[in-house]
Amino acid sequence: MDGASSPTAAPILILLGPPGAGKGTQARILQDKFGLVQLSTGDLLRAAVAAGSDAGKAAKAVMEAGGLVSDDIVIAILGDRLADADCAKGVILDGFPRTTVQAEALDDLLAEKGQKINAAISLEVDDAEMVTRISGRYTCGACGEGYHDSFKQPKAEGVCDNCGGTEMKRRADDNPETVAQRLEAYHAQTAPLITYYDGFGALQRVDAMGDIGKISSDLGAIVKVATA
């Protein structure tokens, strides 16, 4: 809130949760509220795919199939981004870590800088809600603001509330077949992180079935305490 005064005091927050839980939506709100930087490995990987880099080429088919990109690639991409100067003010990790190997690599990366996680917040939604959320998801192509066909429509149809952009995009992997794979990957590989962070006393659970504003105020309260 008051801006971290030294790099070691920079808050490090993790948002855990299945695809469609609202991680990106809430990370953007927290970014604005607390002056943190949102780091989404999904966004970083989509940028790598679009740029046609080696990492992007290796990630593309896996993402289209709804699997998890290899730990090596994701850890390298995240580590590079975390080293950027703007991240010194604190970060909110959205979609990383997704495996125990990634969680351990993150602990090591932070330890090198004398940092550690303030909180790992699990957004809890049931599987049916997650499918509904993903099937109606679209975003502004210009600024990345997220929308939903039923739950979060822009004030003027097709016009972004945030930037006025008119090019809305839907993700190729937000289709029913891929969603089933992504959900399976979440339960098999990512859900165990809830126990991992609970073991450190860093876990916070949030009921993410309610409306966006209620969830963001619950999250804000947790972040205030975790970064005090």
Report CA Rg, the chain: 17
Burial-class residue 189 by CB neighbours within 10 Å (0-12, 13-18, 19+).
middle
Please work out the total of residues on this chain that contact ligand ADP, with binding judged by CB under 6 A.
Answer: 34
d(CA 120, CA 196): 10
Q: Restricting to residues 16-75, name those near Zn ion by CB under 5 A.
A: none
Query: Which of 142, 194, 212, 226 is close enough to bind Zn ion by CB under 5 A?
Result: 142
Nearest to ligand ADP of 11, 97 (CB atom): 97
Is 168 near Zn ion (CB under 5 A)? no
Query: Which of 34, 106, 118, 133 is close enough to bind ligand ADP by CB under 6 A?
Result: 133
Q: Which range in 48-56, 67-75, 145-153, 188-196 contacts Zn ion by CB under 5 A?
A: 145-153
Contact 193, 120 (CB under 8 A): yes
Q: Is 171 a catalytic residue?
A: yes
Alpha helix (H) residue ranges in the chain: 23-34, 41-51, 54-65, 71-82, 100-112, 127-135, 176-185, 192-199, 212-226
| Residue 115: contacted member of Zn ion, ligand ADP, none (CB under 5 to 8 Å, by partner type) | none
Contact 73, 55 (CB under 8 A): yes
d(CA 22, CA 133): 8
Query: Which of 10, 12, 14, 19 is close enough to bind ligand ADP by CB under 6 A?
Result: 19
Query: Which of 42, 90, 154, 165 is close enough to bind ligand ADP by CB under 6 A?
Result: 42
CA angle, residues 194, 46, 157, in degrees to nearest 5: 95
Is 143 near Zn ion (CB under 5 A)? yes
List residues near ligand ADP by CB under 6 A: 17, 19-25, 41-42, 45, 62-63, 66-69, 74, 95-96, 98, 102, 133, 136-137, 146-148, 151-152, 182, 211-212, 215
Active-site residue set:
23, 98, 137, 171, 182
